[in-house]
Structure 1
Amino acid sequence: MTDLFSFIDDQHDQDAKIITQMRLLIDALKKHNHAYYVLDNPSISDGEYDSLRQKLLDLESQFPTLKQPDSPTDKVGDKPLPAFTQVMHDIAMLSLGNVFNFDELTAFIRRINDRLDSKNQHPEFEMELKLDGLAVSLKYVHGVFHQAVTRGDGRVGEDITHNVRTIRNLPQVLPACADIALLEVRGEVLMPKAGFEKLNRESAERGEKTFANPRNAAAGSLRQLNPAIASARPLAFFGYSVNQGLPSHITTQSGALEYLRSLGFETAPFGTAATPKGVQDFYENIAKTRADLPFEIDGVVVKVNSLDLQNDLGFLSREPRWATAYKFAAESAITRLVAVEWQVGRTGQLTPVGKLEPINVGGVTVSNVTLHNFGEIGRLGLMAGDMVSIHRAGDVIPKVSGVVLEMRDGAVSPIHLPKTCPVCESAVVLPEGEALARCTGGLYCPAQSKEALVHFVSRRAMDIDGLGEQWLIKFFEMGLIRTVADIYELVQHQDHLMTLEGLGEKSVNNMLAAIEKSKNTTLPRFIFALGIRGVGESTALNLAQHFADFEAIRRASADDFLTVPDVGEITAQSIHEFFQSTHNSEVIDRLLGAGVVWQAVQVSEAEAPLDGQTWVVTGTLSVMGRDEAKAHLQALGAKVSGSVSAKTSVLLAGEKAGSKLDKATQLGVNIVQEDEFVQLLMTHGRLSNDG
């Protein structure tokens, strides 16, 4: 008996969770129905709305006994606006079901065949464009335009006759229908693309509100109490059905559209097909030319062409059985963010990747989406378990465009930044005021190794000319090199290297000789080669000059680094974190143990005649490179900057000095030519008379 009670409790808990999910979806759909049908100001796209509705339909199909009595899956639209006279439709204006691919289309056609008797199997289908406007019902009494009513909630709509009467392409009198007591024509009021763009442009010039899309513009125009406003708007009416008064000799939907054309109504292009493949071909052709159409569409409406068979097939609660909307792949959809995983890039940046409940967006199934950085998570207010809006247009990478807050429940949890790198377990830091978190294990982290290796051997770093990037990456992929310290152990693999295609004995010997030669370097080069974030050649030289001893640099605090010229708070913190990393220290110890050495750095105060001066080097120097010139200047106590400003003391101008020389001249900065600079170096013993 205890087990039975336990089962009942578990079942009750499960039912409660399902009902909670249903209620969240119902409340969200009601809110968006009101925004779409009543306010004409949708806050989500059609694709996102369809995603929400489909999730509710799936739950109701899986748990039919839990279906809520106020579910909007059985209703169309929302209550009409109180500002307009309400009108009961003679025949309900229902909505359409949706299909999104050929499999769903064939399933729709299969259901039709299952309901038809054997002689009517495989009926002909009519296909027409699904116009993106506002559905209205028009009534003509003895051929004279009488009334226009919106869809409303499908049963009751709003009388907008005064506005529809102003639409220029709408026939006001139908002479051929003078003997028809009541003709009801249904169709779509829309705003062509060109008219929409002109309206928005002119509204913007007057400082007035602009519309988000042509449908909003059309619907907003028809909801004006002043018909003069609607009259000034570029609206058009396209008919798509005759619901009352159709002559008896017309027996098909395509015939009804031809009849509307004969009366002077505009209709969108349409066609017929006898097979599912024919329907698919029409759909694909329209999809290809969609961008060239003068108005917006969001799919193709597929209908059984025979009007008699339409009557036989009948209706469901909110849609006909004989028609469906074959929609284009939505560019936006809503799904659940299940979890967040973290990836480490080649520069150490941690990028959050959202793991989604798979959803079709823009014709592609999306299950992962980048969240860019930790700052973006905060900007979106995102939590694991949230329902999120996913947007993808064309070949653009899918992204999270927002959180559906009205569907947030108690199952969500905060997204925390990892304290350690998911790849190498080094500490993760997020500098104050920044959005990008990063791993501090630069020399050690496998995710950053390729970048660190290429930088380490570069000309301005350790200058290992015989070890090119191609072979460096090859050795990394083979597992011969994992960190920069492994470069100095390649000699242990000499015999194996000689067996590789493209490497002979001479090439290997030259490579190993270049590696051995690089062990004798300078402290600034070595510091630069470590690839510390924010430390370029100039800062590396400043660090070497300031501390003179490498071990002093390793022991220094962040505050100590702030006393170094050109080192700000962010760089100081970055340097300190780099040397505090146990993993980085292990690699550095291996480099020193392999025999990497440099001459001691000695700069006395007496040898700092340029102390307090800020120099800028520009143009081409003939006696030495600009890097060497910078090194001499810093050795003499000068601060070397990359840009000219009011704080610049001297500009060293080589050939083709360019814009920096112009700016220095404007600011009255002292300008020194190369021959004067050489004389300065000779005076202070930095160069001899023989160069």
Structure 2
Amino acid sequence: MSQSTIKDTMEALVNELNQHSYNYYVLAMPTIADYEFDKKLEELGKLEKEHPEFADPDSPTLKVGGDITKNFVTVKHRWPMLSLGNTYNEQDLRDFDERIKKSIGDNFEYVCELKFDGLSISLTYQDNKLLRAVTRGDGTKGDDVTANVKTISNIPHHLKKADTPALFEIRGEILMHSAAFERLNKEREELGEIPYANPRNFASGTIKMQDPKEVAKRPLDAFFYSLHTEKEYSKTHWESLQKLNKWGFHVSEHTKLSSNIEEVLEFIHYWENERFKLSYDIDGIVIKVNSFTQQQELGFTAKSPRWAISYKYKAQEVETILESVSYQVGRTGAVTPVANLKPVQLAGTTVKRATLHNANEIERLDLHVGDSVFVEKGGEIIPKIIEVNQEKRKDGAQRVIYPVICPECGTTLVRKEGEVAFYCLNDEGCRPQIVGKIQHFISRKAMNIDGLGDETIESFYHRGLLGHISDLYTLKDRAEELKNIERFGERSIENMLKGIESSKQMPFEKVLFGLGIRYVGETVAKKLAIGTGNIDRLIAATLEELTAIDEIGGRIAESILEYFSKQAHIDQINLLKAHGLQFETVQTIITLDSDKLTGKTFVISGVFEQYSREELKDLIENNGGKILSSISAKLNYLLAGDNMGPSKLEKAQKLNVPLISENDLLEMLNKD
């Protein structure tokens, strides 16, 4: 290659790797596998070594993590959070072992740890109290996510042990268990939202949410694997792990002390298959020299310690035949393609199906029926097709074409601008949508109707007993028909009817969530119930009135308007009203601290010194003010903190909305 070509190649790699790092660390939505990223990083490192004159001083090869998100206060790490060198082969581990021996001799031990696939976190404790929780960030500084981390049940806020240092940090990984990931992702899909690719992304996205109350609703876990103190508190890494466990921190029981590299390799080989039996994802094994004295002797490179290395497992991949593609219709009408495969063993399980996500993915893969396809199961719970073996395609193979009509009811499918999914809009006549909506309505988070389950709803639909949500409240008039259903005795019928009757007392926000309006989840339903007060005002609300409600954006507002534009939906609500369901918010009497802000509206944006955003919200509302979610000409004040979004500032200035500081607000409240 010419000098010009080499320089261009290096610049292109820098730009590409920086974008992938941003996708991974900041957006928590990676678009490339770890293995591919590491190979590109290795290629760039090699070129930089050969051509240092073209090396970028801010090269990704010198960085640890990603950029800092602008939504949180940035905190400098007391001890840098360095990354580890990665390898995918055993020879590199043996070479690593030889380098250690050349430096410190043969008398040393290794600690082998599972490499959790989650979000790195550093916790600082002072006088046995959790002081701060900070993300890895760029390794030098990270985001202060203390309020969110405090919602994780197995992270102690206070320590009872007396033998802890006055000040110390522990490092670990926040993760989400596979079962929780599947359940929560299913809820996202039902709301028409883009599902997360894997539990790591979901955990990362959760910990960076702005509202700790929302974080608390998502079950996160954490494992801890290192202790940092000003003075040496233990002689070895193994000993420090025992201390962490004794103090009440969640330390993996699968960590092992090894005498030599052969024992390390045995550990790696064991977990290559056993990892699939864990309830959470790991993507490799971390190997560390045990003695802290020997660690200090070995030292560090600019980016990573010389006394530790990470062995990463390649994603499990297998080749099989695509036998057909089927299409599933969800309760919101979204049509999802599923690949039906010739059964094959992958990662310890028999795989018969793989996700294809949407029409764009089918087109990207250029799928044909009978294709030989490569299926991967890495961090994802559900296997996915990553590539077609074009060389094995048979002549005359039929191309997979995404349907233009609903596979269930024959209605023409529609794809809205800016969305990847196709939808069937026949929600009143499409079986999976009808059944799915009723199943959603009776679910625990909605109407929580005892005595009914998904299979029963499906059975009742096929028998003609249920066709709409409102039909649930007419089942009491069809008791004789119910008695004729096999394995459905009098006690079952009695419990079901009692549960249906009790559901009439569920509050308006639960009924609203139960209706299954697209994008209206639990939190949004509650905001709408409070913001409008009753169903009639909600039905009559304009786009501007809806977006003025706290946390209701344009996409949600448009979905609500579309839902209530259909007479069939209004008819159902009228029937539910007639059956006695709650469609009005029960007003509770709130005693205000004062009425100094009565009639004033506020939008809060940015980070503040004295109060959190939640505390400022309570302060305003407790003194008669109202919080809005978006800026309009009717807004009285924009309460502006540090790192405020530029778009909000620009819009406020354009509409001449007054900007006030935290101190300005306090002065308003202190005036007589």
TM-score w.r.t. structure 1 length? 0.46
Q: Which has more radius of gyration? A: 1
